[in-house]
Amino acid sequence: MNAIITASELADELAGGDPPVVLDVRWQLSVAKAAGEPLFDGRAAYESGHVPGAVYVDLDEELAGPSGDRGRHPLPDLAEFGAAMRRAGVSARTPVVVYDGGQGWAAARAWWLLRWTGHPDVRVLDGGLPSWSGELSTDVPPREEGDFAPAPGAGGLLDADDAAALARSGVLFDARAGERYRGEVEPIDRVGGHIPGAVSAPTNDNVAPDGRFLPAEELRDRFKALGASQGVEVGVYCGSGVSGAHEVLALAVAGIPAALYVGSWSEWSADPARPVAVGPDPG
């Protein structure tokens, strides 16, 4: 099954007899703002206009647990996550389409969580809301509660020890910007650099200027050149398990299965005992 869907395909499915549940997960990373500058409000953006029938999902509150030693966006409590998905109308046998404001990171986080917890049919709107040419709605639709019950699979998830081991035995991609990987800058976490052995693979290089994914063949060629050849186990991390989910999605588009280290650099770097590599080489 394709992991992404175009805006025209979504419009056709919404007009059909068995429309998907649509989740709006607009979100932006909260970093230091100038005095008086407001933080991005995803719910307000949703209320100002969304794909008709879409339901808002809050990444920080419903797709992640509290920030702490496990990272800035650790796994949510699965019972709470399941309840949030059911409130949004998600059922095990109903397709789900997720979108955000165009960057794709937040939508990918929702896609990854739903897929990892057992939902069989989840896709991301390629290009996000900017790709949608239809009318927008300000109505908050009533939703019949769904029946989705999270049931995580055996694979697809890495912890810190798994990530360290995979950097030696397979390939571990670092999805952050290159300057953060190299340790030249670190605007958020305790220290800059990367997990020793990890390969720099910025997730922004997986998309065209309009935010849509590159063709699957181009993505396969890119990841193969970075070490993801046939039979090699692949993992991904980022800053806090959000942009890394977007890279896992890009790998899925390319036909390459990959696991996600959800705690990512925000968890790894919080422990001074863990080694840190800097510079352009994996180390």
Q: Could you give the residue numbers annotated as active site?
A: 238
Joined tokens for residue 26: 């607009």
* Spatial separation of the C-alpha atoms in residues 214 and 276, rounded to whole Å: 31
Question: What is the distance between the alpha carbons of residues 261 and 236, in angstroms, rounded to a whole number?
Answer: 6
- 51 vs 10: CA distance, rounded Å: 10
139 class by beta-carbon count within 10 Å (0-12 exposed, 13-18 middle, 19+ buried): exposed
Extended beta strands in the chain, E state:
4-5, 21-24, 55-56, 96-99, 122-125, 157-158, 171-174, 199-200, 234-237, 259-261
Tokens of residue 268, six digits:
């790894």
Please tell me whether residue 65 adopts helix, strand or coil conformation: coil
